[in-house]
Structure 1
Protein backbone atom coordinates (compact mmCIF):
# COMPACT_ATOMS: atom_id res chain seq x y z
CA UNK A 1 0.00 0.00 0.00
CA UNK A 2 1.31 3.38 -0.96
CA UNK A 3 0.85 5.31 2.29
CA UNK A 4 -1.13 5.66 5.46
CA UNK A 5 -3.07 8.88 5.89
CA UNK A 6 -5.63 10.27 8.35
CA UNK A 7 -8.88 10.24 6.41
CA UNK A 8 -9.99 13.69 5.31
CA UNK A 9 -13.33 12.65 3.81
CA UNK A 10 -16.62 13.33 5.56
CA UNK A 11 -18.31 10.02 4.91
CA UNK A 12 -21.08 10.38 7.45
CA UNK A 13 -20.88 6.81 8.76
CA UNK A 14 -19.40 5.26 11.86
CA UNK A 15 -16.49 3.07 10.76
CA UNK A 16 -16.22 1.34 14.12
CA UNK A 17 -19.89 0.34 14.01
CA UNK A 18 -19.51 -0.98 10.47
CA UNK A 19 -16.47 -3.06 11.40
CA UNK A 20 -18.42 -4.68 14.20
CA UNK A 21 -20.66 -6.19 11.50
CA UNK A 22 -17.82 -7.24 9.19
CA UNK A 23 -16.78 -10.85 8.82
CA UNK A 24 -13.27 -11.94 9.75
CA UNK A 25 -10.55 -12.67 7.22
CA UNK A 26 -10.60 -16.29 6.06
CA UNK A 27 -7.44 -17.91 4.67
CA UNK A 28 -8.16 -19.65 1.36
CA UNK A 29 -5.67 -22.42 1.95
CA UNK A 30 -7.34 -25.37 0.20
CA UNK A 31 -8.43 -25.80 -3.41
CA UNK A 32 -12.05 -26.04 -2.25
CA UNK A 33 -11.87 -22.79 -0.27
CA UNK A 34 -10.08 -20.96 -3.08
CA UNK A 35 -12.18 -22.43 -5.89
CA UNK A 36 -14.18 -19.31 -6.71
CA UNK A 37 -11.20 -16.99 -6.32
CA UNK A 38 -8.47 -18.55 -8.50
CA UNK A 39 -8.50 -15.49 -10.79
CA UNK A 40 -7.12 -13.39 -7.91
CA UNK A 41 -3.36 -13.64 -7.81
CA UNK A 42 -0.15 -12.25 -6.43
CA UNK A 43 1.67 -9.80 -8.66
CA UNK A 44 5.40 -10.17 -8.03
CA UNK A 45 7.38 -6.97 -8.61
CA UNK A 46 10.75 -8.15 -9.89
CA UNK A 47 11.55 -9.73 -6.53
CA UNK A 48 11.19 -6.38 -4.75
CA UNK A 49 7.74 -6.82 -3.30
CA UNK A 50 4.24 -7.75 -4.39
CA UNK A 51 0.74 -6.45 -4.91
CA UNK A 52 -2.58 -8.16 -5.52
CA UNK A 53 -4.21 -8.35 -8.94
CA UNK A 54 -7.24 -9.97 -10.58
CA UNK A 55 -8.00 -11.31 -14.03
CA UNK A 56 -10.74 -9.43 -15.86
CA UNK A 57 -9.95 -11.12 -19.18
CA UNK A 58 -7.94 -14.12 -20.26
CA UNK A 59 -4.86 -11.91 -20.67
CA UNK A 60 -5.79 -8.80 -18.63
CA UNK A 61 -4.96 -8.15 -14.97
CA UNK A 62 -6.41 -5.25 -12.99
CA UNK A 63 -4.29 -3.74 -10.20
CA UNK A 64 -3.29 -0.42 -8.63
CA UNK A 65 -1.16 2.06 -10.59
CA UNK A 66 1.29 2.66 -7.75
CA UNK A 67 2.32 -1.01 -7.91
CA UNK A 68 4.10 -0.19 -11.19
CA UNK A 69 6.53 2.28 -9.61
CA UNK A 70 9.75 1.53 -7.77
CA UNK A 71 9.18 2.64 -4.18
CA UNK A 72 12.79 3.85 -3.79
CA UNK A 73 13.42 5.72 -7.03
CA UNK A 74 9.84 6.56 -7.99
CA UNK A 75 10.58 5.33 -11.54
CA UNK A 76 8.21 3.19 -13.60
CA UNK A 77 8.97 -0.52 -13.42
CA UNK A 78 9.59 -2.36 -16.67
CA UNK A 79 6.37 -4.41 -17.04
CA UNK A 80 8.31 -7.37 -18.44
CA UNK A 81 9.90 -7.85 -15.00
CA UNK A 82 6.48 -8.51 -13.45
CA UNK A 83 4.86 -11.90 -13.01
CA UNK A 84 1.21 -12.63 -12.26
CA UNK A 85 0.68 -15.78 -10.19
CA UNK A 86 -2.99 -16.70 -10.36
CA UNK A 87 -4.33 -18.47 -7.28
CA UNK A 88 -0.95 -18.39 -5.51
CA UNK A 89 -1.04 -20.62 -2.41
CA UNK A 90 1.83 -21.99 -0.35
CA UNK A 91 4.49 -21.72 -3.03
CA UNK A 92 2.41 -22.81 -6.03
CA UNK A 93 0.14 -21.02 -8.48
CA UNK A 94 -2.63 -22.28 -10.73
CA UNK A 95 -1.00 -20.32 -13.58
CA UNK A 96 2.13 -18.22 -14.03
CA UNK A 97 2.30 -15.46 -16.62
CA UNK A 98 4.80 -12.74 -17.43
CA UNK A 99 3.49 -9.25 -18.12
CA UNK A 100 4.34 -7.70 -21.50
CA UNK A 101 2.67 -4.29 -21.34
CA UNK A 102 1.07 -2.13 -18.66
CA UNK A 103 -0.90 1.11 -18.77
CA UNK A 104 -1.69 3.42 -15.88
CA UNK A 105 -4.34 6.11 -15.79
CA UNK A 106 -2.93 9.28 -17.42
CA UNK A 107 -4.01 11.42 -14.45
CA UNK A 108 -2.10 9.28 -11.94
CA UNK A 109 0.98 10.80 -10.28
CA UNK A 110 3.11 8.58 -8.08
CA UNK A 111 4.82 11.65 -6.59
CA UNK A 112 1.55 13.30 -5.52
CA UNK A 113 0.29 13.32 -1.96
CA UNK A 114 -2.59 11.01 -1.13
CA UNK A 115 -5.79 12.80 -2.11
CA UNK A 116 -9.06 11.98 -3.79
CA UNK A 117 -7.48 12.84 -7.15
CA UNK A 118 -4.58 10.43 -6.61
CA UNK A 119 -6.74 7.59 -5.32
CA UNK A 120 -9.38 7.79 -8.03
CA UNK A 121 -6.70 7.52 -10.76
CA UNK A 122 -4.71 4.77 -8.99
CA UNK A 123 -5.60 2.09 -11.52
CA UNK A 124 -3.52 0.03 -13.95
CA UNK A 125 -4.24 -2.66 -16.52
CA UNK A 126 -1.65 -5.30 -17.40
CA UNK A 127 -1.38 -7.34 -20.60
CA UNK A 128 -0.11 -10.89 -20.10
CA UNK A 129 2.34 -12.58 -22.46
CA UNK A 130 -0.11 -15.45 -22.98
CA UNK A 131 -3.81 -15.79 -22.09
CA UNK A 132 -4.75 -17.94 -19.11
CA UNK A 133 -7.12 -20.58 -20.44
CA UNK A 134 -7.74 -22.81 -17.49
CA UNK A 135 -11.19 -24.09 -16.64
CA UNK A 136 -10.59 -23.45 -12.93
CA UNK A 137 -9.57 -19.82 -13.49
CA UNK A 138 -12.49 -17.72 -14.69
CA UNK A 139 -11.92 -13.97 -15.18
CA UNK A 140 -14.17 -11.66 -13.19
CA UNK A 141 -16.69 -9.27 -14.63
CA UNK A 142 -16.85 -5.69 -13.38
CA UNK A 143 -19.89 -3.79 -12.11
CA UNK A 144 -20.84 -0.19 -11.21
CA UNK A 145 -19.66 1.03 -7.83
CA UNK A 146 -22.05 0.10 -5.02
CA UNK A 147 -24.18 2.47 -2.98
CA UNK A 148 -23.28 3.70 0.49
CA UNK A 149 -24.10 1.08 3.13
CA UNK A 150 -23.85 -1.84 0.68
CA UNK A 151 -22.08 -5.08 1.55
CA UNK A 152 -18.88 -5.78 -0.34
CA UNK A 153 -16.01 -8.23 0.05
CA UNK A 154 -12.29 -8.33 -0.74
CA UNK A 155 -9.71 -11.00 -1.57
CA UNK A 156 -6.10 -10.02 -1.00
CA UNK A 157 -2.57 -10.96 -0.17
CA UNK A 158 -0.73 -8.84 2.39
CA UNK A 159 2.23 -8.63 4.71
CA UNK A 160 2.19 -11.62 7.08
CA UNK A 161 -0.19 -13.45 4.70
CA UNK A 162 1.79 -13.29 1.49
CA UNK A 163 1.62 -17.00 0.72
CA UNK A 164 -2.12 -17.57 0.96
CA UNK A 165 -4.94 -15.25 -0.15
CA UNK A 166 -7.50 -14.14 2.40
CA UNK A 167 -11.20 -13.51 1.86
CA UNK A 168 -13.24 -11.01 3.82
CA UNK A 169 -16.70 -11.90 2.63
CA UNK A 170 -18.56 -8.98 4.20
CA UNK A 171 -17.43 -5.42 4.81
CA UNK A 172 -19.27 -2.14 4.28
CA UNK A 173 -19.21 0.77 1.87
CA UNK A 174 -18.88 3.77 4.18
CA UNK A 175 -19.06 6.44 1.52
CA UNK A 176 -18.50 7.46 -2.09
CA UNK A 177 -16.86 10.80 -2.73
CA UNK A 178 -15.08 12.29 -5.74
CA UNK A 179 -14.55 8.94 -7.41
CA UNK A 180 -13.25 7.28 -4.23
CA UNK A 181 -14.90 4.33 -2.50
CA UNK A 182 -14.39 4.29 1.29
CA UNK A 183 -14.93 0.87 2.89
CA UNK A 184 -14.42 -0.89 6.20
CA UNK A 185 -12.58 -3.75 4.46
CA UNK A 186 -9.47 -5.08 6.23
CA UNK A 187 -6.37 -4.47 4.09
CA UNK A 188 -2.65 -4.12 4.70
CA UNK A 189 0.61 -3.62 2.82
CA UNK A 190 0.56 -5.92 -0.22
CA UNK A 191 -3.22 -5.57 -0.60
CA UNK A 192 -2.77 -2.77 -3.14
CA UNK A 193 -4.71 -3.63 -6.28
CA UNK A 194 -6.87 -6.19 -4.47
CA UNK A 195 -10.34 -6.55 -6.00
CA UNK A 196 -13.33 -5.32 -4.02
CA UNK A 197 -16.43 -7.33 -4.94
CA UNK A 198 -20.16 -7.29 -4.76
CA UNK A 199 -21.75 -10.70 -4.43
CA UNK A 200 -25.27 -9.91 -5.58
CA UNK A 201 -26.93 -12.77 -7.42
CA UNK A 202 -24.37 -15.21 -6.11
CA UNK A 203 -21.69 -14.09 -8.58
CA UNK A 204 -18.68 -12.00 -7.60
CA UNK A 205 -18.17 -8.85 -9.67
CA UNK A 206 -15.36 -6.34 -9.17
CA UNK A 207 -16.56 -2.84 -8.25
CA UNK A 208 -13.28 -1.27 -7.10
CA UNK A 209 -9.64 -2.00 -6.32
CA UNK A 210 -7.73 -1.18 -3.14
CA UNK A 211 -5.54 1.91 -3.42
CA UNK A 212 -4.65 2.96 0.13
CA UNK A 213 -5.28 2.44 3.80
CA UNK A 214 -6.52 5.33 5.88
CA UNK A 215 -7.89 6.16 9.30
CA UNK A 216 -11.29 7.57 10.18
CA UNK A 217 -11.16 8.51 13.80
CA UNK A 218 -9.49 5.54 15.46
CA UNK A 219 -10.78 3.03 12.93
CA UNK A 220 -8.78 1.84 9.89
CA UNK A 221 -10.58 2.00 6.56
CA UNK A 222 -9.61 1.32 2.97
CA UNK A 223 -9.80 3.61 -0.05
CA UNK A 224 -10.62 2.21 -3.47
CA UNK A 225 -10.74 3.51 -7.00
CA UNK A 226 -13.84 3.61 -9.13
CA UNK A 227 -13.78 1.63 -12.38
CA UNK A 228 -16.16 2.58 -15.20
CA UNK A 229 -14.69 5.25 -17.47
CA UNK A 230 -11.10 4.93 -16.11
CA UNK A 231 -11.05 1.21 -16.90
CA UNK A 232 -12.56 1.78 -20.35
CA UNK A 233 -9.77 4.27 -21.06
CA UNK A 234 -7.07 1.77 -20.08
CA UNK A 235 -8.62 -0.94 -22.24
CA UNK A 236 -8.56 1.45 -25.20
CA UNK A 237 -4.90 2.32 -24.58
CA UNK A 238 -3.88 -1.34 -24.57
CA UNK A 239 -5.84 -1.93 -27.78
CA UNK A 240 -3.93 1.00 -29.29
CA UNK A 241 -0.66 -0.76 -28.52
CA UNK A 242 0.40 1.40 -25.61
CA UNK A 243 2.01 0.20 -22.39
CA UNK A 244 5.57 -0.60 -23.44
CA UNK A 245 8.37 0.34 -21.07
CA UNK A 246 9.52 3.93 -21.05
CA UNK A 247 11.66 5.29 -18.22
CA UNK A 248 9.66 7.91 -16.36
CA UNK A 249 11.13 11.33 -15.59
CA UNK A 250 12.54 11.93 -12.11
CA UNK A 251 9.64 12.34 -9.67
CA UNK A 252 8.93 15.62 -7.97
CA UNK A 253 9.92 16.00 -4.34
CA UNK A 254 7.55 14.15 -2.06
CA UNK A 255 6.87 14.13 1.63
CA UNK A 256 8.97 11.88 3.79
CA UNK A 257 7.94 10.19 7.01
CA UNK A 258 7.19 12.75 9.69
CA UNK A 259 6.83 15.71 7.31
CA UNK A 260 3.52 17.49 6.99
CA UNK A 261 1.47 18.77 4.13
CA UNK A 262 1.10 22.53 4.26
CA UNK A 263 -2.45 22.36 2.95
CA UNK A 264 -4.02 19.49 4.87
CA UNK A 265 -1.73 19.05 7.89
CA UNK A 266 -1.83 15.28 7.43
CA UNK A 267 1.11 13.18 8.50
CA UNK A 268 2.17 10.67 5.87
CA UNK A 269 4.20 7.50 6.19
CA UNK A 270 5.63 5.75 3.15
CA UNK A 271 5.68 1.98 3.79
CA UNK A 272 6.71 -0.71 1.31
CA UNK A 273 4.25 -1.94 -1.32
Structure 2
Protein backbone atom coordinates (compact mmCIF):
# COMPACT_ATOMS: atom_id res chain seq x y z
CA UNK A 1 0.00 0.00 0.00
CA UNK A 2 1.21 3.50 -0.78
CA UNK A 3 1.90 6.07 1.96
CA UNK A 4 -0.86 8.31 0.63
CA UNK A 5 -3.44 5.61 1.28
CA UNK A 6 -2.99 5.11 5.00
CA UNK A 7 -1.19 5.68 8.26
CA UNK A 8 1.16 3.23 9.94
CA UNK A 9 2.81 1.15 12.76
CA UNK A 10 4.92 2.00 15.87
CA UNK A 11 8.00 1.80 18.06
CA UNK A 12 11.48 0.25 17.93
CA UNK A 13 11.81 -0.18 21.64
CA UNK A 14 8.07 -0.42 21.96
CA UNK A 15 5.99 -2.62 19.74
CA UNK A 16 2.35 -3.38 19.18
CA UNK A 17 1.34 -6.90 20.22
CA UNK A 18 0.88 -9.42 17.46
CA UNK A 19 -2.65 -9.47 16.17
CA UNK A 20 -3.49 -5.97 17.41
CA UNK A 21 -6.34 -4.32 15.52
CA UNK A 22 -5.10 -2.26 12.59
CA UNK A 23 -1.61 -3.75 12.82
CA UNK A 24 -0.31 -5.58 9.78
CA UNK A 25 3.05 -7.13 9.04
CA UNK A 26 4.84 -5.75 5.98
CA UNK A 27 5.96 -9.08 4.59
CA UNK A 28 6.32 -8.41 0.86
CA UNK A 29 7.96 -5.81 -1.32
CA UNK A 30 4.53 -4.54 -2.30
CA UNK A 31 3.42 -4.19 1.32
CA UNK A 32 6.64 -2.36 2.21
CA UNK A 33 6.65 0.09 -0.69
CA UNK A 34 7.03 3.60 0.66
CA UNK A 35 8.18 2.42 4.09
CA UNK A 36 11.66 1.15 3.19
CA UNK A 37 13.26 4.22 4.81
CA UNK A 38 12.07 2.92 8.18
CA UNK A 39 14.59 0.42 9.48
CA UNK A 40 15.83 -1.59 12.43
CA UNK A 41 18.66 -0.05 14.44
CA UNK A 42 20.67 -2.96 15.84
CA UNK A 43 22.59 -2.21 19.04
CA UNK A 44 25.44 -4.71 18.98
CA UNK A 45 23.66 -7.65 20.54
CA UNK A 46 22.00 -5.66 23.36
CA UNK A 47 18.74 -5.19 21.49
CA UNK A 48 17.30 -3.05 18.75
CA UNK A 49 15.18 0.03 18.12
CA UNK A 50 13.31 1.45 15.15
CA UNK A 51 14.72 4.42 13.24
CA UNK A 52 13.75 6.47 10.20
CA UNK A 53 15.81 8.13 7.48
CA UNK A 54 15.24 11.93 7.36
CA UNK A 55 18.24 12.79 5.15
CA UNK A 56 20.54 10.58 3.04
CA UNK A 57 22.96 10.34 5.98
CA UNK A 58 20.73 11.00 9.03
CA UNK A 59 18.28 8.85 11.01
CA UNK A 60 15.97 9.68 13.92
CA UNK A 61 15.41 7.38 16.90
CA UNK A 62 14.82 7.59 20.65
CA UNK A 63 17.64 8.90 22.86
CA UNK A 64 17.34 6.02 25.32
CA UNK A 65 18.29 3.65 22.48
CA UNK A 66 21.84 5.05 22.81
CA UNK A 67 22.08 3.70 26.38
CA UNK A 68 22.37 0.26 27.92
CA UNK A 69 18.95 -0.57 29.26
CA UNK A 70 19.97 -1.57 32.78
CA UNK A 71 23.11 0.48 33.48
CA UNK A 72 22.53 3.55 31.35
CA UNK A 73 26.07 3.25 29.95
CA UNK A 74 26.42 4.64 26.39
CA UNK A 75 26.27 2.03 23.61
CA UNK A 76 29.36 2.61 21.40
CA UNK A 77 28.36 3.78 17.92
CA UNK A 78 30.81 1.24 16.52
CA UNK A 79 28.37 -1.47 17.65
CA UNK A 80 25.33 0.05 15.96
CA UNK A 81 24.00 -0.76 12.51
CA UNK A 82 21.02 0.69 10.63
CA UNK A 83 19.21 -1.88 8.49
CA UNK A 84 16.88 0.08 6.23
CA UNK A 85 13.70 -1.75 5.25
CA UNK A 86 14.78 -4.87 7.17
CA UNK A 87 12.50 -7.74 6.13
CA UNK A 88 12.88 -11.50 6.58
CA UNK A 89 16.66 -11.53 6.94
CA UNK A 90 17.53 -8.87 4.35
CA UNK A 91 17.74 -5.09 4.29
CA UNK A 92 17.46 -2.62 1.43
CA UNK A 93 20.64 -0.98 2.75
CA UNK A 94 23.07 -1.55 5.63
CA UNK A 95 24.94 1.32 7.25
CA UNK A 96 27.23 1.70 10.24
CA UNK A 97 26.88 4.73 12.50
CA UNK A 98 29.52 7.48 12.36
CA UNK A 99 28.31 9.49 15.34
CA UNK A 100 25.19 10.09 17.40
CA UNK A 101 23.74 12.84 19.56
CA UNK A 102 20.83 12.75 21.97
CA UNK A 103 18.89 15.93 22.66
CA UNK A 104 21.12 18.07 24.95
CA UNK A 105 18.32 18.24 27.55
CA UNK A 106 17.71 14.50 27.61
CA UNK A 107 18.24 13.04 31.09
CA UNK A 108 18.67 9.30 31.35
CA UNK A 109 16.88 7.45 34.13
CA UNK A 110 16.13 3.77 34.78
CA UNK A 111 12.54 4.85 35.39
CA UNK A 112 10.07 5.96 32.75
CA UNK A 113 8.64 9.44 33.33
CA UNK A 114 7.36 12.43 31.40
CA UNK A 115 10.53 14.46 32.01
CA UNK A 116 12.51 11.89 30.08
CA UNK A 117 10.02 11.43 27.27
CA UNK A 118 9.95 15.12 26.39
CA UNK A 119 13.54 15.06 25.12
CA UNK A 120 13.86 11.35 24.35
CA UNK A 121 15.03 11.81 20.78
CA UNK A 122 18.37 11.38 19.02
CA UNK A 123 19.94 12.03 15.63
CA UNK A 124 22.47 9.59 14.18
CA UNK A 125 24.82 10.15 11.26
CA UNK A 126 25.44 7.20 8.96
CA UNK A 127 28.96 6.33 7.86
CA UNK A 128 27.81 6.65 4.22
CA UNK A 129 24.70 8.30 2.76
CA UNK A 130 21.90 6.11 1.42
CA UNK A 131 21.07 7.19 -2.13
CA UNK A 132 18.63 4.67 -3.54
CA UNK A 133 15.40 5.51 -5.44
CA UNK A 134 13.38 3.25 -3.13
CA UNK A 135 14.81 4.80 0.03
CA UNK A 136 13.68 8.39 0.02
CA UNK A 137 14.19 10.24 3.33
CA UNK A 138 11.06 11.46 5.06
CA UNK A 139 10.39 15.12 5.70
CA UNK A 140 9.68 16.19 9.27
CA UNK A 141 6.63 18.29 10.10
CA UNK A 142 5.03 20.31 12.83
CA UNK A 143 3.41 18.65 15.80
CA UNK A 144 -0.16 17.47 15.15
CA UNK A 145 -3.06 18.86 17.17
CA UNK A 146 -5.23 16.93 19.57
CA UNK A 147 -7.54 14.59 17.69
CA UNK A 148 -5.27 14.41 14.64
CA UNK A 149 -4.90 11.11 12.80
CA UNK A 150 -1.41 9.61 12.88
CA UNK A 151 0.16 6.23 12.22
CA UNK A 152 3.35 4.27 12.84
CA UNK A 153 5.68 1.73 11.22
CA UNK A 154 7.80 -0.20 13.69
CA UNK A 155 9.72 -3.29 14.67
CA UNK A 156 9.09 -4.94 18.02
CA UNK A 157 9.78 -7.79 20.39
CA UNK A 158 7.48 -10.28 18.66
CA UNK A 159 7.95 -8.87 15.17
CA UNK A 160 11.64 -8.19 14.84
CA UNK A 161 12.05 -9.66 11.34
CA UNK A 162 9.65 -7.37 9.50
CA UNK A 163 8.12 -4.01 10.23
CA UNK A 164 4.44 -3.71 11.03
CA UNK A 165 2.02 -1.00 10.04
CA UNK A 166 -0.73 0.37 12.23
CA UNK A 167 -3.31 1.87 9.91
CA UNK A 168 -4.67 4.54 12.19
CA UNK A 169 -4.40 5.99 15.68
CA UNK A 170 -5.04 9.42 17.17
CA UNK A 171 -3.37 12.16 19.17
CA UNK A 172 -5.20 12.15 22.51
CA UNK A 173 -3.38 15.18 23.90
CA UNK A 174 -0.22 17.28 23.79
CA UNK A 175 1.39 17.63 27.20
CA UNK A 176 4.73 18.89 28.47
CA UNK A 177 6.35 18.80 25.05
CA UNK A 178 5.15 15.33 24.18
CA UNK A 179 2.27 13.59 22.44
CA UNK A 180 -0.07 11.09 24.06
CA UNK A 181 -1.46 8.79 21.36
CA UNK A 182 -3.90 5.89 21.08
CA UNK A 183 -1.36 3.86 19.09
CA UNK A 184 -0.97 0.29 20.39
CA UNK A 185 2.70 -0.29 21.24
CA UNK A 186 4.88 -2.74 23.11
CA UNK A 187 8.55 -3.16 23.95
CA UNK A 188 10.86 -3.27 20.96
CA UNK A 189 9.45 -0.25 19.12
CA UNK A 190 11.33 2.64 20.74
CA UNK A 191 12.39 5.26 18.22
CA UNK A 192 9.66 4.41 15.72
CA UNK A 193 8.54 7.37 13.60
CA UNK A 194 5.03 8.70 14.06
CA UNK A 195 3.66 9.86 10.72
CA UNK A 196 1.10 12.40 9.66
CA UNK A 197 -0.31 12.84 6.18
CA UNK A 198 0.17 16.19 4.44
CA UNK A 199 -2.40 17.81 2.19
CA UNK A 200 -0.35 16.71 -0.84
CA UNK A 201 -0.69 13.08 0.23
CA UNK A 202 2.92 12.62 1.38
CA UNK A 203 3.81 11.20 4.79
CA UNK A 204 6.02 13.19 7.16
CA UNK A 205 7.51 12.34 10.55
CA UNK A 206 5.91 14.37 13.36
CA UNK A 207 7.09 12.49 16.45
CA UNK A 208 9.27 9.63 17.68
CA UNK A 209 7.92 6.95 20.02
CA UNK A 210 9.61 7.06 23.40
CA UNK A 211 7.52 4.98 25.80
CA UNK A 212 4.25 3.26 26.49
CA UNK A 213 1.96 4.07 29.37
CA UNK A 214 -1.46 3.47 30.82
CA UNK A 215 -3.96 6.30 31.06
CA UNK A 216 -7.25 5.68 32.85
CA UNK A 217 -6.90 1.96 32.21
CA UNK A 218 -6.12 2.43 28.54
CA UNK A 219 -2.76 1.67 26.94
CA UNK A 220 -1.25 4.66 25.15
CA UNK A 221 1.96 5.56 23.32
CA UNK A 222 4.07 8.57 24.28
CA UNK A 223 6.15 10.42 21.71
CA UNK A 224 8.58 13.34 21.72
CA UNK A 225 7.40 16.58 20.11
CA UNK A 226 9.58 17.31 17.05
CA UNK A 227 8.76 21.00 16.77
CA UNK A 228 12.00 23.00 16.81
CA UNK A 229 14.03 19.92 17.76
CA UNK A 230 15.80 18.99 14.50
CA UNK A 231 18.06 22.12 14.40
CA UNK A 232 19.01 21.48 18.05
CA UNK A 233 19.94 17.87 17.26
CA UNK A 234 21.94 18.85 14.18
CA UNK A 235 23.88 21.40 16.25
CA UNK A 236 24.67 18.79 18.91
CA UNK A 237 25.71 16.28 16.24
CA UNK A 238 28.21 18.72 14.73
CA UNK A 239 29.57 19.93 18.10
CA UNK A 240 33.04 18.41 18.36
CA UNK A 241 33.32 19.35 22.04
CA UNK A 242 30.10 17.45 22.73
CA UNK A 243 31.56 14.30 21.17
CA UNK A 244 34.83 14.59 23.14
CA UNK A 245 33.09 14.49 26.50
CA UNK A 246 33.88 11.42 28.64
CA UNK A 247 31.03 8.96 28.88
CA UNK A 248 30.64 9.69 32.58
CA UNK A 249 29.90 13.34 31.89
CA UNK A 250 26.74 12.63 29.92
CA UNK A 251 23.59 14.03 31.55
CA UNK A 252 21.96 11.91 34.23
CA UNK A 253 18.53 12.24 35.82
CA UNK A 254 18.45 14.97 38.44
CA UNK A 255 16.09 15.73 41.29
CA UNK A 256 14.20 18.36 39.32
CA UNK A 257 10.40 18.15 39.57
CA UNK A 258 8.93 15.69 37.10
CA UNK A 259 6.21 16.68 34.67
CA UNK A 260 2.88 15.00 35.29
CA UNK A 261 0.69 13.62 32.50
CA UNK A 262 -1.75 11.56 34.51
CA UNK A 263 -0.33 8.48 32.81
CA UNK A 264 1.09 5.49 34.63
CA UNK A 265 4.28 4.34 32.92
CA UNK A 266 4.67 0.64 32.27
CA UNK A 267 8.02 -1.01 32.89
CA UNK A 268 9.46 -3.75 30.63
Cα distance in 2 for partners of 1:171, 1:233 equals 28
For the residue of structure 2 that corresponds to 1:37, the secondary structure is coil
Q: Secondary structure at the match of 2:135?
A: coil
Structure 1's 57 and 214: CA in aligned 2 closer, same or farther, altered over 3 A?
same
Moved more, 192-201 or 203-212: 192-201
Are 1:169 and 2:167 counterparts? yes
- 1:97 Cα deviation from its structure 2 partner: 0.2
SS of the aligned residue for 2:128 comes to coil
Aligned to 1:28: 26
Which residue is equivalent to 1:204? 203
Distance 1:85 1:270 in 2: 27
Which residue among 191, 195, 201 is the counterpart of 2:189?
191
> Is the Cα–Cα contact under 8 Å of residues 156 and 187 in structure 1 kept in the other structure?
no
What is the TM-score of this pair, normalised by structure 1?
A: 0.83
After superposition, give the CA deviation of every residue in 1:58-113 in whole Å (9 maximum; x if it has no partner): 01010000000011221111112100000000010000000010000111111264
Measured in 1, the distance between the counterparts of 2:42 and 2:192 equals 13
Conserved? CA contact 1:76–1:248, under 8 Å:
no
Q: Is the 8 A contact 2:214 2:263 kept in 1?
A: no
Which residue of the other structure, out of 73, 92, 97, is the alignment partner of 1:75?
A: 73
Whole-angstrom distance in 2 between the partners of 1:176 and 1:268: 16
Within 2, Cα distance between the matches of 1:132 and 1:264? 38
- Give the match for residue 51 of structure 1: 49
> What is the count of residue pairs matched by the alignment?
247
Q: CA RMSD in A?
A: 2.8
Q: In structure 2, do the counterparts of structure 1 residues 265 and 125 end up closer, same or farther at CA, with 3 Å as the change threshold? A: closer
| Aligned ranges 1:257-268 → 2 under 5 Å | none
Q: 1:2 to 1:30 in 2, by over 3 A?
A: closer
**Structure 2: unaligned runs, 5 residues or longer:** 1-10, 15-19
CA contact (8 A) 1:2 1:270 kept: no
Separation (CA, whole Å) in 2 of partners of 1:183 and 1:266: 12
Give the secondary structure class of the aligned counterpart of 2:30: helix
**Relative to structure 1, is the Cα distance of residues 173 and 268 closer, same or farther in structure 2, using a 3 angstrom cutoff?**
closer
Q: Find the aligned partners of 1:269 and 1:70 in 2 and give their Cα distance.
A: 18
For 1:39 and 1:149, locate their aligned partners in 2 and report how far apart those are by CA, in whole Å: 27
Instruction: From the superposition, tell whether residues 170 and 270 of structure 1 become closer, same or farther in structure 2 (CA, over 3 Å).
Output: closer
Q: Is the 8 A contact 1:79 1:101 kept in 2?
A: yes
Structure 1: gaps spanning 5 or more residues? 5-21, 255-260
Does residue 143 of structure 1 match 2:163? no
Give 1:97's match in structure 2, choosing from 95, 98, 117: 95
TM-score by structure 2 length?
0.84
1:120-159 to 2 correspondence within 5 Å? 120-159=118-157
Flag the 1:236–1:253 CA change in 2: closer, same or farther, 3 A.
closer
Measured at CA, do residues 268 and 179 of structure 1 come closer, stay the same or move farther in structure 2, by a change above 3 Å? closer
1:231 is matched with 230
SS in 1 for 2:106: coil
Separation (CA, whole Å) in 2 of partners of 1:252 and 1:118: 10
In the TM superposition, residue 238 of structure 1 has moved relative to its aligned partner by 2.0
